[in-house]
């Protein structure tokens, strides 16, 4: 009996490995609360598949030496494990092949020569970027304090500034504000968007990554008010770090995607700028990634659960009694002809925020805005596909965002 139990474990483990690999290929759930563990287990598998594959192979060798794959059950376990390896390899090959899905939408909207136009802005930055590309400096300023405090709320109003050590203080480098995600209840600036921030810093940008007040301790609209405070701080102080206050773009993923889109569509809106109504909070471009753009509709996968979450933890008001609060908080209801250029990215296999959210927001904004609106829908990509340094999709995201923002910078310089 003891030997039977011992041999049953490799088979069970193989089944779990196969299920996890299959979940990385395609999410096993797309509705309701099961989407949370599906994402939690599926994201490492989908974005770190080479590491998962290497670890599984090495562990299988160890277990094979131990004798776990002897007998009928053991052979079945080894077969299932090898099928999981094949799925992990498939996942990696799809990731590597994703680059056109980032570039083609930019070409379709900005024109076939968009990279040549973007190169003009990138070339202008090279005049003050002279150290080798691998010497990237991430600094947290001010003076000896180690961080920037951009607002009155202490530890939750802090930011990291990313810049190269050879960037002169009068460099007038373009600036990107990064707004972290986390369901409006985490909001940690570290380590979100590190591949993007390090890539841009390497290429002569100044990047600001913030914390902000989060729920349930804080209540909407504290979150967007802090994002606006950060923009106001940047406009006043970023020149001290070599940044150009006249070229400030904004990005963020998930809840940060929502907040960055809302900030871009509500420049100088006194509703979200209490006590600093006259501050400039406009941006020249926005790059929301897998964001929530509609806080009103209950139609679609997971939306009833999402509205219930907002009512209980974030807004803390019933939508039936305070509908306008939810309308005002929805970028989909804030569309405007003078919106800045947008580059919207969403993964087609996102199990946390289903892809129709990004698709519908992009289509609606394209109908209204007079500025370019680029929508990139990335096949097979889960939520948070841009987090991991070693992920091809994270690399392609950083490249595509730089190309888009450099195009915006170059076209503004030519105007």
Give the pLDDT confidence of 10-39 residue by residue, as tens digits: 888 899 999 999 999 988 877 777 888 888
Mean residue pLDDT of the chain comes to 90
What pLDDT shows up at residue 34? Answer: 83
**Active-site entry in 383, 386, 391, 406:** 383
**Same domain assignment for residues 61 and 165:** no
What pLDDT shows up at residue 146? Answer: 42
Cα 243 to Cα 341: distance, rounded to the nearest angstrom:
20
**Same domain assignment for residues 357 and 262:** yes
**Same domain assignment for residues 270 and 387:** yes
Active site residue 203: no
Cα 26 to Cα 31: distance, rounded to the nearest angstrom:
14
**Same domain assignment for residues 211 and 346:** yes
**Active-site entry in 49, 254, 332, 351:** 254
Q: Residue 368 in 3-state DSSP? A: helix
**Which among 6, 121, 14 has a CA at the least distance from the CA of 75?**
14
Alpha carbons within 13 A on the beta-carbon side of 392: 18
What pLDDT shows up at residue 129? Answer: 59
**Active-site entry in 294, 350, 391, 395:** 350
Q: Rg (Cα) of the chain, in Å, rounded?
A: 23
Exposed/middle/buried for residue 48 (C-beta within 10 Å: 0-12, 13-18, 19+): buried
Active site residue 371: no
The answer to whether 408 and 249 have CB atoms below 8 angstroms apart is: yes
Active site residue 269: no
What pLDDT shows up at residue 115? Answer: 94
**Same domain assignment for residues 81 and 32:** yes
- Residue ranges in the chain whose pLDDT is less than 70: 1-8, 126-146
Structural domains of the chain, count: 2
- In eight-state DSSP terms, residue 315 is S
What pLDDT shows up at residue 88? Answer: 94
**Same domain assignment for residues 150 and 80:** no
What pLDDT shows up at residue 390? Answer: 83
- Expressed as residue numbers, the domain containing 77 is 2-96
Helix ranges restricted to H, 26-113: 35-47, 49-66, 71-96, 99-110
């Amino acid at each position: 009996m003891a030997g039977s139990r011992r041999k049953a474990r490799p088979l069970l483990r193989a089944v779990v490995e196969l299920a996890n690999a299959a979940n990385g290929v395609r999410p096993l759930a797309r509705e309701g609360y099961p989407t949370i563990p599906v994402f939690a287990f599926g994201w490492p598998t989908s974005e770190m598949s080479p590491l998962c594959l290497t670890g599984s192979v090495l562990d299988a060798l160890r277990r094979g030496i131990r004798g776990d794959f002897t007998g009928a059950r053991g052979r079945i376990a080894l077969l299932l494990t090898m099928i999981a390896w094949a799925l992990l390899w498939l996942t990696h090959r799809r990731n590597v092949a994703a680059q056109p899905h980032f570039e083609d939408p930019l070409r379709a909207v900005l024109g076939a020569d968009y990279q040549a136009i973007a190169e003009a802005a990138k070339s202008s930055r090279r005049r003050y970027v002279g150290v080798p590309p691998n010497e990237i400096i991430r600094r947290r300023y001010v003076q000896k304090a180690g961080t920037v405090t951009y607002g009155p709320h202490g530890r939750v109003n802090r930011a990291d500034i990313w810049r190269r050590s050879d960037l002169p203080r009068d460099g007038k480098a373009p600036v990107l504000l990064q707004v972290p995600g986390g369901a409006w209840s985490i909001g940690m600036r570290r380590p979100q968007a590190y591949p993007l921030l390090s890539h841009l810093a390497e290429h002569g940008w100044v990047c600001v990554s913030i914390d902000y007040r989060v729920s349930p301790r804080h209540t909407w609209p504290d979150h967007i008010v802090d994002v606006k405070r950060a923009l106001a701080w940047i406009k006043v102080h970023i020149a001290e770090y070599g940044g150009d206050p006249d070229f400030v773009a904004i990005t963020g993923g998930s809840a940060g995607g929502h907040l960055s889109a809302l900030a871009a569509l509500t420049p100088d809106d006194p509703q979200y700028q209490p006590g600093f109504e006259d501050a400039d909070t406009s941006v020249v471009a926005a790059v929301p990634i897998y964001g929530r753009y509609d806080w009103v509709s209950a139609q679609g996968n997971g939306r009833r659960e999402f509205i219930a979450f907002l009512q209980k933890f974030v807004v803390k008001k019933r939508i039936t009694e305070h509908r306008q609060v939810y309308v005002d908080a929805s970028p989909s209801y804030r569309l405007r002809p003078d919106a800045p250029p947008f580059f919207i990215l969403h993964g087609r296999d996102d199990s946390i925020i289903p892809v129709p959210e990004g698709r519908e927001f992009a289509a609606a904004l394209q109908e209204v805005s007079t500025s370019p609106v680029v929508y990139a829908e990335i096949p097979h990509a889960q939520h948070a596909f841009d987090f991991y340094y070693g992920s091809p999709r994270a690399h392609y995201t950083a490249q595509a965002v730089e190309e888009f923002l450099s195009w915006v910078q170059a076209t503004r310089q030519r105007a």
